[in-house]
Amino acid sequence: MIRTIIVDDEPLARDVLREYLAADEDVEIVAECANGFEAVKAVAEHDPDLLLLDIQMPKLDGFEVLELLDRSPNVVFVTAHDEYALRAFEVHALDYLLKPVSEARLQSALQRIKQQSGNPRPEAGRLASALRAKPLQRLVVRQDDGTIQIVPVARIDYVEADDEAIVIHTAGTTLRKQQSIGDLAQALDPGRFVRVHRSVLLNIERIEKLELYAKDSRVAILRDGTKVPVSRSGYARLKELL
């Protein structure tokens, strides 16, 4: 059985997929979700083989759902937007279905799952990163108590590396996220966020002034008085933007 979760904020879209899947005796729908938060919870509870995932949804979009998954089911995108299709296939996404979806097209996707039975599932986090065509507009952070916090990147002051995690500084508060600072730097707008130090990613809009700290290094003083180290190479990158 292909244990399947349907994720779409439109009830009609879920109804159509449910009706089509009912015709395949090899498919079991284990959950239906109307938003990204429900999807993350459902994947953790049911460990599905297949995630039929919309992209444009309120609260969490499809990419952010993938970032939060501890498990990595096969993903078939079901969306009205075609701009991410090429990158989806480059990272071997199982399929990419454009709405309105026909029953024959969905069955074609299911056949691919049946044919690859026993093969490793794709890495959801890698898939999410590769599909993101535009710079991140917000970060999704899972707290230790299981709550999820969404941080608009425009509100970030700077980010520090902390072993294999990062610490996000925003409006006087800090949030820890399991992600490398290098991966985050690649996902953010390079015209706004600069790697000013090996362990610091800085929002240049927060800089009040730069001061010489030592022969080959400087310090950035932010609007709230926070001092952030700037290496020689980091200063060179800053000069190209400031």
Judged against a pLDDT cut of 90, whether residue 196 lies above it is answered with: yes
pLDDT band at 237; cut points 50, 70, 90: very high
Q: Are 5 and 50 in contact (CB under 8 A)?
A: yes
Tell me, what's the pLDDT at 118?
A: 55
Percent of the chain with pLDDT strictly greater than 70 = 90
Own/partner pairs, 215-223, CB within 8 angstroms, 24+ separation? 220/196, 222/157, 222/158
Judged against a pLDDT cut of 90, whether residue 242 lies above it is answered with: no
Percent of the chain with pLDDT strictly greater than 90 = 62
pLDDT band at 90; cut points 50, 70, 90: low
Tell me, what's the pLDDT at 205?
A: 95
Q: Is 9 exposed, middle or buried (0-12, 13-18, 19+ CB in 10 A)?
A: middle
- The rounded radius of gyration (Å) of the Cα atoms in the chain is 21
Question: What's the pTM value of the predicted model, to 2 decimals?
Answer: 0.73
Q: Is 167 exposed, middle or buried (0-12, 13-18, 19+ CB in 10 A)?
A: middle
The identity of residue 30, as a single letter, is V
Tell me, what's the pLDDT at 50?
A: 95
Q: Are 17 and 52 in contact (CB under 8 A)?
A: yes
Mean pLDDT for the stretch of residues 62-73: 85
For 172, left (φ over 0), alpha (ψ -120 to 50), or beta? Answer: left
Q: Are 174 and 211 in contact (CB under 8 A)?
A: no
pLDDT band at 241; cut points 50, 70, 90: confident
Task: Locate CATH 2.40.50.1020 in the chain.
Answer: 138-239
Q: Which helix (H) or strand (E) holds 64?
A: helix 62-68
Q: Angle between the 103-115 and 11-22 helix axes, to the nearest 10 degrees? A: 60
- Whether domain 2-131 has CATH 3.20.20.70: the reply is no
CATH architecture of 138-239: Beta Barrel (2.40)
Judged against a pLDDT cut of 80, whether residue 122 lies above it is answered with: no
Judged against a pLDDT cut of 60, whether residue 131 lies above it is answered with: no
pLDDT band at 12; cut points 50, 70, 90: very high
Q: Which of 88-92, 157-161, 183-187, 218-222 has the lowest mean pLDDT?
A: 88-92
Task: Locate CATH 3.40.50.2300 in the chain.
Answer: 2-131
Judged against a pLDDT cut of 90, whether residue 231 lies above it is answered with: yes
Cis peptide before 100 (omega within 30 of 0): yes
Spatial separation of the C-alpha atoms in residues 158 and 229, rounded to whole Å: 11
**Bridge partners, residue 141, by sequence:** 149
Taking only the tens place, the pLDDT of each residue in 31-42 is 999 999 999 999
Nearest-5° Cα angle at 71, 118 to 3: 55
